[in-house]
Amino acid sequence: MCKAARPAFLKRYPTMFKVAPKAITSIISPASGVIAELNSIMEDTPEIINSDPFGEEWLFKIAPSNWKIEKNTLMNIEEYFPVMEEKIRKELKK
Q: So what's the architecture of 2-66 in CATH? A: Beta Barrel (2.40)
- State if pTM tops 0.75: no
pLDDT tens per residue, the chain (94 residues)?
A: 445 445 565 666 555 555 556 666 667 788 888 888 888 887 788 777 778 777 778 888 888 999 999 999 899 889 989 999 999 999 999 8
Q: Where do the structural domains in the chain lie, given as residue ranges?
A: 2-66
**38-47, long-range: CB < 8 A, 24+ apart:** 38/1, 38/2, 38/3, 38/4, 39/1, 40/1, 40/2, 41/1, 46/19, 46/21, 47/21
